[in-house]
Amino acid sequence: KAGVTQTPRYLIKTRGQQVTLSCSPISGHRSVSWYQQTPGQGLQFLFEYFSETQRNKGNFPGRFSGRQFSNSRSEMNVSTLELGDSALYLCASSSTQVRDNSPLHFGNGTRLTVT
Amino acid sequence: DAKTTQPTSMDCAEGRAANLPCNHSTISGNEYVYWYRQIHSQGPQYIIHGLKNNETNEMASLIITEDRKSSTLILPHATLRDTAVYYCIVNSYGKLTFGQGTILTVHP
């Protein structure tokens, strides 16, 4: 089985721009959750999508949004980029909603640099 | 959301057991404890999870105290490839809160 695939692997953007990141879950997995990892704050939960609906949300501003398609693939969008948005963005998939305690399988992330 | 506390770093000799502690004193009755590890430049890798009882799989064992306020991850025979950051996490109704983790260094 193929693992979780995130594209692109690296991205460089300028302040004020917007960016879209993509995540393809493991086949058959219906939950996709997103995380931001920075040296200062560590790994922080952004949001979770299950069956095309947002099920849970972390404490991030509205500039961070996401969506999930009928094939369970998910995209995350960040608008009006700030320098502080530079981070490794990770997505994880699971067969059930995260709250139902199936293990998460992470991709290797997208490294976003904002200049 | 339940918080976890882990030592910042630990060392272990290759071939010996690595015992990684975690404190989660604010955990609620139905919240599971998970362990993941992350090797530089990769996404976190699932190791094991449990609720009350001790758990074992091909990678590790998880020992949870009876009051559920702490747990220990045991890697029975550590190898150099086990060098990584280990995260102890509580699943608070769908929100996973990662602490800073423990940097485990396995020495030859």
pLDDT of A112 > 80? The answer is yes
Pick the range with the lowest mean pLDDT from A72-76, B14-18, B50-54, B69-73.
Answer: B50-54
Which residues, numbered 29 to 58 in chain B, qualify as contacts with chain A under a Cβ-Cβ cut-off of 8 Å? 32, 34, 36, 41-46, 49
Tell me the backbone φ, ψ of residue B11, rounded to 5 degrees.
-115, 155
- What's chain B's average pLDDT? 93
Give residue-wise pLDDT tens across range A35-58: 999 998 889 999 999 999 999 999
Q: List residues bridging with B105 in a β-sheet.
A: B11
Q: Is the dihedral of CA A74, A37, A6, B42 positive or negative?
A: negative
Taking CA atoms, A16 is separated from A46, A79, B43, B90, in Å, by 20, 7, 28, 35
CB contact under 8 A, B46 and A103: yes
Q: In chain B, what residues touch A95 (CB-CB under 8 Å)?
A: none
pLDDT of amino acid A51: 94
Q: Is B68 on the interface with A (CB under 8 A)?
A: no
**Count of A–B CB contacts within 8 Å?**
52
The pLDDT-based confidence of A2 (bands split at 50, 70, 90) is confident
The pLDDT confidence band at residue B28, using thresholds 50, 70 and 90, is confident
Partners of A43 on chain B (C-beta within 8 Å) are: 44, 87, 98
pLDDT digits (tens, 9 = 90+) for A99-110: 888 899 999 999
Q: What pLDDT, on a 0 to 100 scale, did the predictor assign at position A73?
A: 98
Cα–Cα distance for residue pair B62/B70, rounded to 1 Å: 11
pLDDT at B40: 85
Q: Helix or strand or coil: residue B73?
A: strand
Cβ atoms B15, B35 nearer than 8 A = no
Of the candidates B94, B98, B100, which has its C-beta nearest A99's C-beta? B94
Q: pLDDT of A56-104, one tens digit each?
A: 999 999 999 999 999 999 999 999 999 999 999 999 999 999 888 889 9
Contact between residue A26 and residue A72 where contact means Cβ atoms under 8 Å apart: no
pLDDT band for B30, please (50, 70, 90 cuts).
confident
Closest Cβ–Cβ partner in A4, A45, A105 for B96: A45
Average pLDDT over residues B46-60: 95
- With contacts defined as CB-CB under 8 Å, which chain B residues touch A48? 94
Contact B44 A58 (CB under 8 A): no
Q: Distance of alpha carbon B31 from its chain centroid, rounded?
A: 15
pLDDT per residue as tens digits for the range A25-38: 999 999 999 999 99
- List, for residues B71-86, the tens digit of each pLDDT value: 999 999 999 999 999 9
Q: Is the pLDDT of residue A1 over 80?
A: no
Q: Quote the CA–CA distance of B103 and B106 in Å, as a whole number.
A: 10
Residue B1, pLDDT score: 65
Q: Give the tokens for residue A108.
A: 């290797």
Quote the CA–CA distance of A97 and A31 in Å, as a whole number: 6
